[in-house]
Amino acid sequence: MGRYILKRIASLIASLVVASLAIFALIEVTPGDPASFMLGLNAAPETVAALRDQLGLNEPLPLRYLHWVGGMLSGDFGLSYTYKVPVAELVGDRLKISLPLALIALALSTALALPAGLIAAARRGKATDAAVMGATQLGIAVPNFWFAMLLVLLLAVRWRLFPAGGFPGWSDPLAALRALTLPAVALALPQAAILARVLRSALIETLGQDYIRTARAKGLSRQAALTRHALRNALIPVLTILGMQFSFLLAGAIIIENVFYLPGLGRLIFQAITQRDLIVVESVVMLLVFAVIAVTFLTDLAYAAVDPRLRRPA
């Protein structure tokens, strides 16, 4: 197991190095000058040049890359060109919204998908299976922002059970959770549909294995075979989807955050791109890439815990 973990850590580090080079290169070739954008079209060339010097934009690219990476490793992500505050502070403030939102949405999608997938697999070919599959097909087909608007109209505008948007802060945890409930549900429904279908397919495939038939032949009920044996062995594709879903929920909630006026990480990236705040874009995207790679690493460790065969050296 130790050798397996070391190999995964080496892969994680290599992926981060390649990702940092790709992100830096892509940001640098993006058209537009941050200094010119900040000062406006009528700014004097001398003023633009002075600001570029102040921002460090005139340094050689390899030196700027090393400064950027070295700063991130020491916890210094630089100073935002637009907000004039440390990027780490900006990210920390936005993560207080985006991270709980992603975790709540992931918990909701898992809570909905696991029983739905189990029921559909247990009653394959019956009306219950058809109903679950129809509901999941609808959940996949309908965009999450449509769910969001529907939830706002019904639960916020008509029945006034939840706020329609905004975030009151964590000084009142109950109000904060109420503000995140509708966005989390809108994010969770499509993800739950995907997860339920993956789980059903994995369970049906596992139920056809020889060891399951042997267990059934020895008198084990279908329900017991499903929950005791098939579920554990069907978890690997489910863990893959869960890892990808968390990364998506953390970084890909830009539309939902705009629907509910949530000042999260997605809106920060969108605003930084429109304002040519390159240091914010670089740092936030790198942090999100790190989150994706770290989740993949943890997913690989979960694979090894679920299936000991993966821990064996090749």
Query: What's the pLDDT tens digit per position in 90-140?
Result: 999 999 999 999 999 999 999 999 999 999 998 999 999 999 999 999 999
pLDDT for the residue 16:
92
Residue 190 has pLDDT above 90, yes or no: yes
- Read out DSSP for 184-242? HHHHHHHHHHHHHHHHHHHHHHHHTSHHHHHHHHTT--HHHHIIIIIHHHTHHHHHHHH
* pLDDT-derived band at 35, boundaries 50, 70, 90: confident
Q: Which secondary structure element, helix H or strand E, spans residue 294, and what is its range?
A: helix 278-306
Burial class, 270, CB count within 10 angstroms (exposed 0-12 / middle 13-18 / buried 19+): middle
Least confident of 20-29, 146-155, 216-225: 216-225
84, amino acid identity: K
Query: Distance from first CA to last CA of the chain, Å, rounded?
Result: 13
Residue, of 14 and 219, whose pLDDT is higher: 14
Least confident of 18-22, 149-153, 222-226: 222-226
pLDDT for the residue 1:
67
pLDDT for the residue 180:
96
pTM: 0.85
Give dist(CA 93, CA 141) in Å, integer.
Answer: 33
Residue 194 has pLDDT above 60, yes or no: yes
Residue, of 218 and 32, whose pLDDT is higher: 218
Residue 252 has pLDDT above 90, yes or no: no
* pLDDT-derived band at 186, boundaries 50, 70, 90: very high
pLDDT for the residue 7:
86
Give dist(CA 258, CA 250) in Å, integer.
Answer: 14
Tokens of 223: 């329900």
Angle at 191 between CA 190 and CA 196, to 5 degrees: 100
Give dist(CA 69, CA 282) in Å, integer.
Answer: 10
* pLDDT-derived band at 69, boundaries 50, 70, 90: very high
- Read out DSSP for 7-61? HHHHHHHHHHHHHHHHHHHHHHHSSS-HHHHHH-TT--HHHHHHHHHHHTTTS-H
Residue, of 184 and 303, whose pLDDT is higher: 184
Tokens of 241: 């989807």
Round the average pLDDT of the chain to a whole number and report it. 88
Q: Average pLDDT of 179-199?
A: 96
Residue, of 102 and 298, whose pLDDT is higher: 102
